[in-house]
């Protein structure tokens, strides 16, 4: 209990002085000022607090005040008061931080995002009118100057054409590229909400026909309501009174070679009419028929005959009379038949390649009793279904720039979803040097083109100058091909992009390792590319960074119309001296002078000049230029491959001949390296794959990083086991043909695909049937098929866009596990099945968000009205933390540091004559003796008083009272004597002190006289 009492007294010491209002005044004044100012800041919306109840902690300030008065600070009154105020301020700052302060910003600026529907259900003329409507309003003189406007275009996806700004720099063409085959209003509104600044009042102007094929509007509308964002609408209204479309193309489920069958075509129309129906087989017209049709559904039959096994794609097209059809896109329907025959091998070659690259391989495959076919990259199919007749496909020294993205995706899907074998052979146009880095082809291969883990590999540096491209979607094309060029580079290579942006000539991002591709892509997507006045500044910036780079290969690409001022000869000379090549691409130049400028730059620096007449050629050009830096991955040296993981490809192979070169790659984690080259050097061991394989989805793929021709594989071509190696190579990766009792067919009706699987097994098992569907946008779905009849299973699948859907169904029952492969082809999206706008949806959005329907006449006052000041806040912890950092040392200084003001005044008294104080020492000694004598007298008095008190007490001991009285009297006399002696000593000390003072004064006087004599 005593300990608790002691702790309580230490925390709350008793008052040393009498309590008064004056002593409490500093605390009261501080509390009034502190709490009053916080209330005023909150009331006037200068500052708000997330947890205002934290100000109740101000009650603890009373304790700090009490301790200041009754603690053991030992400070003078004024200094104690100042210290108290500083400490209360520190406590107040802590309370403010706990209350989560936020600075309030009130803005009257209104930011408007125009959101325009560019889908195919909206006519091009209507889209152009909508954009012009937005531009007229944004540029209307009646628009408040501080207000902002931006533009978003959308279809199946959305893109920001212009972020919110006080200006509206629309130049007559939309640069953003969107999927026009679908409509996703949800994504467009969500993006518009994200683009509106949080500190401004926001508004969205939605211009659309209201047809939504994807997304869910309820969620995004609720989000806009919560943020107080109104959605004004301008409906695009239309109704088609006449329209004709093809709904289905039915083909027989089972066929035999040489027999005749029928293709059944379902045609629908709003009104009666006539037209011509054409049927194409693998792109060639095989039948045409004049047809008369009624309103509603009509069925027409065209005979077909199959002559050989293989893949047959049938396309039905309708040509109508003028005036009865509005949308030509829905006049086409596609379906296919696949008759399995003897599998063949496809060799895909470079259109400009040398036949020597594949002649020996083709001969070896033919001698192994397999059908082999060669095809240039230009002829390669654009869908995976067309590749089903092939057991294996080889890419023979053909670069990625010879394919478009769709063709590469078809090859990828054929391996993964259809089980087709795939192999890439080495050469100067394959793997990394061929531009396959970061492509879907690389995904399918057992090796990666990222060789950054190699011990010694020269790196390259690429700078790209993007000048505004003055053709439709020009800047979008420029951004896309710049990203594709960067993707080709290895991770250790560097890339940078120069543009003419809002701040003039600048780096969009300086030379950066391409391992940071995601960051680069984001900056490219958001770049604002302007019309560059001169090449000089950007080329100077590029030269500075390229020269400073430690890359061994340095290259620049310039894409422009050629109208900027050309660089000076001195600048071109610097590029030549630095061995930096420049390739130029002239896009829609204005005249001969611009063409000459671009050509001279490239010729002078050892680069290449391009003048494409079609923007579609740009991606392949950029990829080809980026490949310039990848030549370091080619190893032109003689190596003898060593065996690695055991593989059936090398069965019976006793010795491996040397190779004269190969391409550097890195083996993937799950792949098997059957042949490899081991390089030992000072920096460690590198293992380079020569032959690697793995399972990818349903198919197998292989990488042979050298070639099988007379260039690097000359010793292999003349090898007695060459033919055996090729045969086993092809056999290992080829598609496996398994006997199956399952048959599958599919058909499309409207926006729904139907999958039907029949089981012809002699065992009448009940199957669990699932189908894996891979479709557009790299999207996959798994669907369960339900039994709808004896040994028949069926499922319906909502289609999510135009394109081809590969379907792999699997039936499982006990030990049975069989598969069937098929596809659904959707030739047009549901956009082309809508013949009337749905403005009701738009009006519902406007009603829920308290927006309104705008008039078709552009008027800024109609859009930039209904404004309210927008309040926003942001945390301001930093300022209070800085104040704390300053006050804490001040608090310590006030309590612990004694300032000699006389000394300070002597430091800064420059004008007056300094006076020496000779009495200081004597005064201090005098004061010391006084205190010492006083303390001794007090101690003697206290001791005598204690003895006297003890003498007065009645004692029961043996000591006699008289004796005690005598002792007390004697002690009192001794005390008096000591006091007398102390008094005499004090008088003597004063005398001595006076003598000392007199001596010091005499010394001072003599010094002053000496100085006067000296002067």
What is the full DSSP assignment across 646-661?
Answer: --GGGTT------BS-
In tens, the pLDDT along 81-108 reads 888 899 899 999 999 999 999 888 888 8
CATH code for the domain of 542: 3.40.50.410
Q: Determine the average pLDDT of the residues in 249-268.
A: 88
Structural domain includes residue 365: yes
Task: Quote the pLDDT of residue 958.
Answer: 44
Task: Quote the pLDDT of residue 317.
Answer: 96
CATH code for the domain of 644: 3.40.50.880
Question: Distance between CA 325 and CA 581 in Å, rounded?
Answer: 55
Residues 820 and 846 placed together within one structural domain of the fold: no
Structural domain includes residue 977: no
Given pLDDT bands bounded at 50, 70 and 90, which one contains residue 347?
Answer: very high
Structural domain includes residue 34: yes
Residues 392 and 315 placed together within one structural domain of the fold: no
Task: Quote the pLDDT of residue 636.
Answer: 87
Answer yes or no: is pLDDT of 628 > 90: no
Q: Which residues contact 278 (CB under 8 A, 6 or more apart)?
A: 285, 287, 288, 316, 317, 318, 319
In tens, the pLDDT along 727-751 reads 999 999 999 887 888 999 898 888 8
Residues 95 and 115 placed together within one structural domain of the fold: no
Domains in the chain: how many in total? 6
Task: Quote the pLDDT of residue 21.
Answer: 78
Residues 550 and 497 placed together within one structural domain of the fold: yes
Residues 94 and 120 placed together within one structural domain of the fold: no
C-beta separation of 694 from 680 below 8 A:
no
Instruction: Pick 532 or 756 by higher pLDDT.
Output: 756
Residues 880 and 858 placed together within one structural domain of the fold: no
Residues 663 and 722 placed together within one structural domain of the fold: yes
Q: Determine the average pLDDT of the residues in 110-129.
A: 92
Residues 466 and 606 placed together within one structural domain of the fold: yes
Residues 472 and 600 placed together within one structural domain of the fold: yes
Q: Which residues contact 780 (CB under 8 A, 6 or more apart)?
A: 772, 773, 774
In tens, the pLDDT along 917-947 reads 444 455 555 555 655 555 555 665 566 555 5
Out of 686, 715, 733, pick the residue that ends a domain.
733
Would you call 798 exposed, middle or buried from its count of C-beta atoms within 10 A (0-12, 13-18, 19+)? exposed
Structural domain includes residue 902: no
Given pLDDT bands bounded at 50, 70 and 90, which one contains residue 972?
Answer: low
In percent, the amount of the chain with pLDDT more than 70 equals 84
Q: How far is CA 908 from CA 251, 665, 904, 912, 914, in A?
A: 107, 77, 6, 10, 11
| Termini Cα distance of the chain | 78
Instruction: Pick 904 or 786 by higher pLDDT.
Output: 786
**Mean pLDDT of all residues belonging to the chain:** 84
Instruction: Pick 685 or 790 by higher pLDDT.
Output: 790
Give the residues across from 280 on adjacent strands.
285, 315
Residue 479: in which H helix or E strand, if any? Answer: helix 474-488
Rg (CA), the chain: 46
Instruction: Pick 10 or 854 by higher pLDDT.
Output: 854
Bridge pairing between strands 201-208 and 230-235: parallel
Q: How far is CA 542 from CA 462, 489, 554, 580, 810, in A?
A: 9, 18, 11, 10, 57
C-beta separation of 796 from 754 below 8 A:
yes
In tens, the pLDDT along 864-883 reads 988 887 777 788 888 899 99
Which of the residue ranges 606-610, 817-821, 916-920, 997-1001 would you say has the lowest mean pLDDT? 916-920
Structural domain includes residue 50: yes
In tens, the pLDDT along 699-715 reads 999 999 999 998 999 99
Residues 781 and 794 placed together within one structural domain of the fold: yes
Which domain covers residue 603, as residue numbers? Answer: 460-611
Structural domain includes residue 753: yes
C-beta separation of 152 from 189 below 8 A:
no
Question: Distance between CA 751 and CA 708 in Å, rounded?
Answer: 48
CA 5 to chain centre: 63
Structural domain includes residue 957: no
CATH code for the domain of 806: 2.60.40.10
List the one residue out of 631, 526, 648, 662 whose CA is nearest residue 161. 526
Residues 492 and 577 placed together within one structural domain of the fold: yes
Residues 128 and 231 placed together within one structural domain of the fold: yes
Task: Quote the pLDDT of residue 684.
Answer: 58
Structural domain includes residue 201: yes
Question: Distance between CA 695 and CA 416 in Å, rounded?
Answer: 9
Neighbours of 625 (CB within 10 A): 25
Answer yes or no: is pLDDT of 385 > 80: yes
Out of 339, 360, 380, pick the residue that ends a domain.
339
């Amino acid at each position: 209990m005593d300990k608790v009492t002691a702790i309580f007294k230490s925390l709350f010491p008793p008052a040393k002085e009498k309590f008064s209002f004056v002593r409490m005044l500093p605390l009261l004044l501080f509390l009034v000022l502190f709490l009053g100012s916080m209330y005023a800041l909150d009331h006037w919306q200068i500052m708000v607090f997330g947890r205002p109840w934290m100000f109740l902690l101000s009650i603890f300030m009373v304790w700090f005040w009490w301790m200041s008065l009754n603690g053991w600070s030992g400070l003078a009154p004024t200094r104690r008061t100042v210290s108290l105020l500083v400490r209360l301020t520190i406590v107040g700052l802590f309370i403010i931080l706990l209350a989560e302060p936020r600075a309030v910003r009130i803005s009257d600026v209104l930011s408007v995002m125009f959101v325009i529907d560019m889908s195919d259900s909206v006519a091009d003329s209507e889209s152009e009118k909508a954009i012009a409507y937005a531009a007229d309003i944004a540029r209307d003189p009646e628009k408040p100057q501080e207000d902002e406007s931006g533009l978003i275009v959308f279809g199946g996806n959305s893109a920001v054409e212009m972020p919110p700004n006080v200006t509206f720099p629309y130049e007559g063409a939309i640069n953003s590229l969107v999927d026009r085959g679908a409509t996703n209003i949800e994504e467009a509104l969500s993006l518009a909400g994200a683009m509106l600044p949080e500190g401004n009042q926001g508004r969205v102007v939605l211009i659309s026909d209201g047809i939504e094929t994807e997304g869910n509007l309820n969620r995004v509308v609720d989000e806009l309501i919560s943020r107080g964002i109104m959605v004004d609408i301008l409906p695009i209204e239309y109704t088609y009174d006449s329209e004709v479309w093809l709904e289905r193309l039915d083909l027989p489920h089972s066929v035999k070679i040489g027999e005749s069958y029928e293709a059944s075509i379902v045609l629908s129309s709003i009104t009666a009419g006539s037209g011509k129906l054409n049927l194409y087989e693998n792109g060639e017209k095989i039948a045409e028929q004049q047809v008369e049709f009624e309103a509603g559904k009509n069925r027409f039959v065209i005979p077909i005959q199959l002559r050989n096994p293989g893949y047959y794609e049938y396309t039905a097209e309708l040509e109508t009379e003028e005036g009865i059809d509005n949308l030509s896109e829905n006049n086409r329907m596609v379906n296919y038949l696949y008759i399995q025959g003897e599998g063949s091998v496809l060799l895909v070659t470079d259109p400009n390649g040398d036949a020597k690259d594949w002649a020996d391989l083709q001969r070896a495959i033919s001698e192994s009793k397999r059908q082999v076919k060669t095809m240039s990259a230009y002829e390669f199919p654009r869908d995976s279904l067309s590749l089903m007749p092939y057991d294996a496909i080889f890419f023979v020294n053909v670069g990625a720039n010879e394919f478009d993205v769709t063709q590469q995706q078809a090859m990828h899907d054929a391996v993964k979803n259809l089980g087709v074998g795939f192999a890439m052979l080495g050469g100067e146009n394959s793997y990394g040097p061929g531009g396959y880095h970061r492509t879907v082809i690389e995904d399918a291969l057992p090796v990666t083109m990222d060789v950054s883990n190699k011990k010694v590999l020269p790196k390259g540096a690429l700078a790209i100058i993007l000048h505004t491209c003055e053709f439709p979607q020009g800047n979008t094309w420029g951004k896309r091909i710049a990203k594709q060029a960067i993707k080709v580079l290895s991770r250790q290579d560097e890339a940078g992009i120069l543009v003419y942006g809002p701040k003039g000539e600048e780096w969009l991002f300086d030379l950066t390792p391409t391992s940071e591709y995601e960051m680069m892509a984001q900056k490219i997507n958001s770049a604002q590319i302007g019309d560059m006045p001169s090449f000089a500044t950007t080329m100077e910036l590029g030269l500075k960074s390229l020269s400073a780079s430690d890359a061994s290969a340095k290259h620049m690409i310039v894409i422009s119309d050629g109208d900027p001022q050309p660089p000076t000869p001195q600048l071109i000379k610097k590029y030549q001296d630095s061995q930096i090549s420049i390739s130029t691409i002239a896009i829609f130049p204005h005249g001969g002078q611009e063409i000459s400028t671009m050509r001279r730059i490239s010729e002078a620096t050892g680069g290449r000049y391009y003048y494409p007449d079609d923007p579609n050629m740009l991606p392949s050009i950029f990829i080809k230029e980026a490949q310039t830096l990848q030549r370091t991955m080619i190893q032109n040296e003689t190596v003898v491959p060593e065996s690695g993981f055991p593989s059936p490809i090398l069965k019976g192979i006793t010795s491996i001949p040397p190779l004269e070169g190969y391409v550097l790659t890195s083996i993937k984690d799950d792949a098997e390296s059957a042949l490899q080259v081991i390089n030992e050097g000072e920096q460690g061991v590198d293992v380079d794959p020569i032959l690697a394989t793995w399972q990818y989805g349903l198919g197998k793929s292989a990488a042979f990083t050298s070639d099988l021709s007379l260039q690097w594989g000359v010793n292999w071509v003349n090898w007695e086991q060459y033919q055996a190696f090729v045969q086993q190579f092809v056999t290992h990766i080829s598609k496996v043909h398994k006997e199956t009792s399952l048959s599958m067919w599919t058909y499309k009706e409207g926006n729904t695909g139907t999958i039907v699987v029949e089981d012809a097994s002699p065992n009448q098992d009940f199957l669990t049937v699932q189908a894996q569907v891979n479709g557009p946008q790299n999207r996959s779905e798994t669907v369960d098929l339900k039994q709808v009849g004896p040994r028949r299973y069926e499922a319906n699948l909502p289609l999510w866009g135009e394109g081809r859907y590969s379907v792999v169904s699997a039936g499982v029952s006990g030990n049975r596990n069989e598969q069937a492969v098929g596809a659904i082809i959707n030739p047009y999206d549901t956009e082309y099945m809508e013949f009337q706008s749905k403005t009701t949806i738009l009006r519902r959005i406007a009603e829920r968000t308290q927006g309104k329907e705008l008039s078709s006449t552009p008027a800024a006052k109609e859009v930039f009205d209904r404004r309210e000041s927008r309040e926003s806040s942001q945390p301001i912890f930093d300022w209070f933390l800085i104040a704390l950092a300053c006050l804490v040392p001040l608090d310590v200084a006030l309590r612990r540091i004694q300032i000699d003001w006389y000394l300070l005044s002597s430091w800064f008294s420059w004008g007056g004559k300094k006076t020496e104080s000779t009495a200081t020492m004597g005064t201090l000694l005098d004061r010391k003796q006084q205190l010492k004598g006083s303390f001794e007298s007090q101690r003697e008095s206290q001791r005598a008083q204690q003895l006297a008190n003890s003498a007065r007490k009645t004692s029961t001991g043996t000591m006699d009272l008289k004796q005690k009285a005598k002792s007390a009297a004697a002690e009192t006399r001794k005390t008096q004597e000591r006091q007398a002696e102390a008094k005499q000593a004090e008088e003597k000390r004063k005398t001595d002190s006076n003598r000392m003072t007199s001596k010091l004064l005499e010394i001072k006087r003599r010094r002053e006289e000496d100085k006067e004599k000296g002067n």
